[in-house]
Structure 1
Amino acid sequence: MKQETILRKMIPEDYDSILVLVINTWDYRSWVPNNLVAPMADFFLSDLLLESDDVFVAQIGDDIVGIVATGLVDQTNIQKISTRKNISSLEKILRITEPDSIFLKYIQTLEINEFLLEKSQKNYDAGLNLLIVKEEFKGLGIGGLLYNHFYDYLKQHQAENFYLFTDNSSDYQYYEHKGLSRVAEKKYYWEPGNNDTLEIYYLYEGKLNLSD
């Protein structure tokens, strides 16, 4: 018997399941030292959740199979501005204390996101901070359910446009299929001079038709 997919607000008890989902989705164990896998994924997830106003999960039975996190952009939000300043300061500290660490390189990729936003010279009403579907549940329409929730949330708040960050190792074609446009990109070498470690980071934008 096919089980129903339930969309609901994230609760604190979901956090550990979502953390595992993050680790598996971005294959942390293949590029992060064992003792840093959980802390780095924790930093990534908590950073995104701090910037999010609306977080919903998809659940089938007892299994969390997806998550979508939305952040409304408020230039006066001191908490969000402080988060970005915190990352910038952390990057400077790591350059001095841990110049060859994988964590420093990860922080540098977060700063690329801010660079892409500045490069676009555009103002957005919201951001799609996170959209994940568990690998074995892809193709069942769960991503569409989560994305539609995100879209409806933006319409409720009269958002006319939004942005998201992705990269060439992710399923960025999904967003192009949804009608989003790539507006900026930047290359990053995890090992300088090694083409095999090249990753390209993208900024995409979407627009809403509020008359629908």
Structure 2
Amino acid sequence: MTTGTCMNDPVTLRPLRRDDYPALAGMLRRMWYADPATSEACARRLATIDLHHCLSCSTIATVAECGGEVVGMILARVDADASFGRSTPLNRHVRRVMYEALPLPFSAEGRRGIRDALNMVAVDARLMRGLTGRYDAEIVLFLVDERQRGRGVGRALFDHVMRRFRAGGVRRYFLFTDTTCDVGFYDHRGLTRVREEATSHVDGTSDTYYLVEGEAQKRRTRLEDADGRRRRRSSGEYDHALGRRLPARTCDPYRREC
């Protein structure tokens, strides 16, 4: 499937493959683990853990290619499609996380990475408190190569997942994001920031974390509701909004000639 453009090349979406793992982990490392205090080897390990943790709880995994290069990915979970529900089985991604995490406790930078990851889990849990069961799906990870932003890659990936959500009967979905990401993208797409939490770091910087929700099913406009009512009225169908059966009519009352 081809949707959108990337400079002069089309953006092609396809299912994620195992041979994409190194490129995707590298993208994660450059964007979220490029800490000068962390060695490249440790940053690569942390990014690999992050990627496989997200894969372990996803039922949709799609990448964007442009000019033969992977330039973005989106991972999502539709709860109706997830046999594991809210818990995650010991699948190969979980085993990969465990394998990559083994050396981390034996170095200061590794322990710092573990601490940061646990802090993120705690923030997400606080943002989600009391909302269990509210959502049908989650966008687990949404990432576009920073060199390709503004070229339609993110839009193509997001639209693809919305189509998958609608096909799966998803009504309401959520995602976690923060001020290090392009939060404005979600505002532009009509999503709502439900909760937020500001967090300060030891280096004096701070970030704000958000729980954002959206509706996958298109909302009917007042005009569409009226149009549907006209169709039901012509056949004498039951109108659930009005709570009664509409009398059959031989013409459209909204047209001038009726």
TM-score of the aligned structures, taking structure 1 as reference length: 0.82
Instruction: Give the structure 1 partner of residue 255 of structure 2.
Output: none
**Letter in structure 2 aligned against 1:186:** E
Partner of 1:104: 115
Is the counterpart of residue 29 in structure 1 residue 34 in structure 2?
yes
Aligned residue for 1:123? 134
Give 1 or 2: higher helix fraction. 1
For the 8 Å contact 2:127–2:211, the answer to whether it is kept is yes
Paired with 2:159 and 2:171, the residues of 1 have a C-alpha distance of: 15
**Deviation string, structure 1 residues 49-70 (Cα, Å, up to 9, x no partner):** 1111011111112210111111
In 1, Cα distance between the equivalents of 2:184 and 2:155?
A: 14
Counterpart of 1:57, as a letter, is V
Question: Which amino acid in the other structure matches residue 34 of structure 2?
Answer: R
Structure 2: which amino acid aligns with 1:174?
F
TM-score (norm 2): 0.68
How many angstroms does 1:36 deviate by? 1.7
Tell me, in whole angstroms, the C-alpha distance in 2 between the residues paired with 1:169 and 1:9: 27
> Where in structure 2 are the equivalents of 1:76-155 lying within 5 Å?
77-78=83-84, 80-82=86-88, 101-120=112-131, 123-155=134-166
Task: Give the drift of 1:103.
Answer: 2.0
RMSD of aligned residue pairs (Cα, Å): 2.9
Does residue 61 (structure 1) correspond to residue 72 (structure 2)? The answer is no
Structure 1's unaligned 5+ residue stretches are: none
User: Take 1:123 and 1:152, find their aligned partners in 2: how far apart are those partners?
Assistant: 20
Aligned residues: 199
| Structure 1: distance between partners of 2:58 and 2:174 | 13
Consecutive unaligned residues of structure 2, counting only runs of 5 or more, are 1-6, 99-103, 221-258
Letter in 2 for 1:189: S
Q: Secondary structure at the match of 2:50?
A: helix
Higher relative contact order (CA 8 A, sep 6+): 1
The one-letter code of the counterpart of 2:208 is I
Task: Look up the match of 2:201.
Answer: 190
Q: Is the alpha carbon distance of 1:43 and 1:32 closer, same or farther for their aligned partners in structure 2, counting shifts above 3 Å?
A: farther
Q: Answer whether contact 1:32 1:102 (CA < 8 A) is retained.
A: no
Q: Deviations over 1:108-139 (max 9, x none)?
A: 11221122111546610000111111112111
Letter of the structure 1 residue corresponding to residue 211 of structure 2: L
8 Å contact kept, 1:68–1:146: yes
Task: Give distance in 2, aligned partners of 1:190 and 1:75.
Answer: 37
What is the CA distance between 1:150 and its match in structure 2? 0.6
**Deviation at 1:178?**
0.4
Distance in 1 (alpha carbons) for counterparts of 2:29 and 2:57: 20
Distance 1:75 1:111 in 2: 26
3-state DSSP class of the match of 2:177?
A: strand
